[in-house]
Amino acid sequence: MGSIQGRVTTFIRCINGCAGLRGFSLSALVAIALFAVPHRSEAIPAFAKKYNVPCGLCHTTWPRLNAEGYKFKVNAYQLPDSRDGAETGKASPAFDLHLDSGKANPPLSLRLSGGFGAFGPKSGPDGAQANVFPCCNNGNLMDLYAAGTIEKDIGYFASYRMGKSDIDQGHLRIANIFGPGYFGIDLGGIRTADSDAVSPNREWFGTANPAFFGNSNSRAGDIGLPLGYTDTGFRIFGNPDYGPFSYDVEMVSGTRRVGQGVSTRGSAYSLMARMDIGGFAGSFRYWDNKSGELLFRPSVSGSYTYGLGQSAGANEFAPDRMGPDEKTQDYLFALNYRADRWELETVYDMNNFSVGQRTNGANSYSQSQMNRTGLAVAWIYRLSPFINFGTRYGTSTVKDYSQTVTIGGTTSTYPFSSATASQFDMKLEFLPTQNSRISLLWTLDNSNGQARMNGAGTMYDLQSKLFLLWDWAI
């Protein structure tokens, strides 16, 4: 670990703390912006304490991993020149006692994140759904992390959102099987699509990127189970000799999160290949998910909307109990370039969703395949060690599709016109200390009317918002 001092000197100029952006869900009254805090990263100050290095060693623009951070992750949370079991370069609470030994307490970290909306629309056209578009946010939450190494090349990672009923992540990582970086495996609760050159789990902006997800309105195409969430299963990964090529293969339950209560049927798998050359990182990922979760029910306008459920009432169509009949596929291309003071990225995603024909007695429901394309371009600039600024534009378009429903012998077809969801983000971030940040985030909604249509045929207002955000890691 003789090079650690030089790395510390180099990276101490980096402007990141070890805070973590996390989660997306729906909030009711206040636009309290967990947009910068949600389900989407896993930086923890325990690692910096363990190795006595700044968080900027692995995160140049947190929560994104730079080249050092990526190698640290695939190396089972070990620095390459200080494999665990060694003493060099590690902070220790007592003489001959090291944070990765069985004698020490596990390295725990707390994160407190939150914010509030300075202005923005308060509800949808029915007056009941707050901030439904472009997507969602929660109130103040606190995240608890535990991570480290059990023995050489064997690590663990767990994260829990206070107030939630299930863990966010919890997996065992074994690395360096067959040689340095060649083959590793994660077992347990993992985040899918976490190692891409631009990852949906590590969005610096915090807001949902339409290129990855469409958005929360069914007309905009966020139906099915796209990549970039927490699920239970295993991941095989590698970065042979810590060179330019890396890969991962995933197989998970396909139910979106650990402990999903609606449906445990189905499965998902994914393949990813990535190249890192100099400041460039590029990746391609294929995602395939089969599930049976959506309950289609008639809306006010006569067409059908969807929700989660297993029991169908009159004229409703539940998931096929004989097996999963919903299929989601993604083809995701990502390119990232990092310079000393700035970063540029682009993402292109091709997504399709299909559902098999549903029956309810003599009645039936079918839907043509939904095809969505997404594109995003982002730029982040480090004005100083204490200030970051970034802009991003993302768009997602669902092509025309239709529903066909037969009720009482009468067949009706409901066409849906092409819908485009798009948004422009600007974020100004202040870092008074390495483990804290305060940000202003402005999200400008540019989506067209079809993307903002609800089941009753009424249009949601454009959901442009301004947020004051904070993040504090202990």
pLDDT single digits (tens) 334-355: 999 999 899 999 999 999 999 9
Residue 29 pLDDT class (50, 70, 90 cuts): very low
Q: Cα torsion at 31, 32, 34, 36 (round to 10°)?
A: 80
Identify the domain containing residue 109 by its residue range: 4-473
Most confident region among 25-29, 90-94, 294-298, 360-364 by mean pLDDT: 360-364
Say what the pLDDT of residue 381 is.
96
Mean pLDDT across 436-456: 84
Q: Which among 32, 24, 7 is positioned nearest to 89, based on CA atoms?
A: 7
Query: What is residue 311's predicted lDDT score, i.e. its pLDDT?
Result: 78
Return the number of other C-beta atoms located less than 10 Å from residue 383's C-beta.
13
Q: What is the mean pLDDT of residues 431-459?
A: 83
Place of tokens 């330019």: 244
Task: Indicate the pTM of the whole model.
Answer: 0.83
Predicted local confidence at residue 265, as pLDDT: 66
Q: Is the pLDDT of residue 417 over 70?
A: yes
Q: Which pLDDT does position 434 carry in this prediction?
A: 74
The string of pLDDT tens digits covering residues 193-202 is: 889 999 988 8
Q: Indicate if the pLDDT at residue 119 is higher than 70.
A: no
Instruction: Mean pLDDT check: name the lowest of 146-150, 184-188, 357-361.
Output: 146-150
pLDDT above 80 (res 461):
no
What's the pLDDT at 424? 93
pLDDT value of residue 284: 98
Average pLDDT over all residues of the chain? 77
pLDDT at position 99 is 63
pLDDT: is 25 or 285 the higher one?
285
* pLDDT over threshold 90, residue 305: no
Check which CATH number belongs to the domain holding 350 and give it.
2.40.160.10
> What was the pLDDT predicted at 15?
26
What 3-state class would DSSP assign to 407? strand
The 3-state DSSP class for residue 446 equals coil
What is the structure's pLDDT at 436? Answer: 84
Between 259 and 141, the more confident residue is 141
Asked if the model's pLDDT at residue 139 lies above 70, the reply is no
Question: Residue 367: which pLDDT band, with cuts at 50, 70 and 90?
Answer: very high
Mean pLDDT of 280-287: 96
DSSP 235-298: EEEE-GGG-SEEEEEEEE-SSSSTT-SS----EEEEEEEEEEETTEEEEEEEEEEEE--EEEEE
Residue at token pair 């293969």: 249
Mean pLDDT of 88-112: 63
Share of the chain above pLDDT 70, in %: 73
Q: Which of 8-17, 21-30, 114-123, 383-392 has the highest mean pLDDT?
A: 383-392
Nearest to 365 by CA among 420, 304, 307: 304
Average pLDDT over residues 268-285: 95
List of long-range contacts for 352-357, beta carbons under 8 Å, 24+ apart: 352/328, 353/221, 353/223, 353/224, 353/326, 353/327, 353/328, 353/329, 354/326, 354/327, 355/294, 355/325, 355/326, 355/327, 356/320, 356/325, 356/326
Q: Where does the pLDDT of residue 24 fall: very low under 50, low under 70, confident under 90, or very high at 90 and above?
A: very low
- pLDDT for residue 146: 79
Average of pLDDT values for 164-169?
Answer: 66
Q: What integer pLDDT is reported at residue 369 of this predicted model?
A: 94
Which residue would you say has higher pLDDT here, 108 or 370? 370
Is pLDDT at 156 greater than 70 in this prediction? yes
58: Cα within 13 Å, side-chain hemisphere:
28
In this prediction, residue 460 carries a pLDDT of: 76
> Would you place residue 300 in the very low, low, confident or very high pLDDT band (cuts 50, 70, 90)?
confident
Work out the average pLDDT over 155-160.
Answer: 85
Q: How many domains does the chain have?
A: 1
State the pLDDT at residue 258: 40
> Which is more confidently placed, 209 or 19?
209
State the pLDDT at residue 391: 97
C-alpha separations of 257 from 168, 252, 461 in Å: 8, 10, 30
- Residue of 204 and 132 predicted with greater confidence: 204
Q: Is the pLDDT of residue 273 over 90?
A: yes
What confidence score (pLDDT) does residue 339 get? 93
pLDDT of residue 348: 96
The reported pLDDT for the residue numbered 312 is: 82
Reported confidence tier of residue 288, pLDDT bands at 50, 70, 90 = very high
> What is the pLDDT at residue 174?
96
Answer yes or no: is pLDDT of 423 > 80: yes
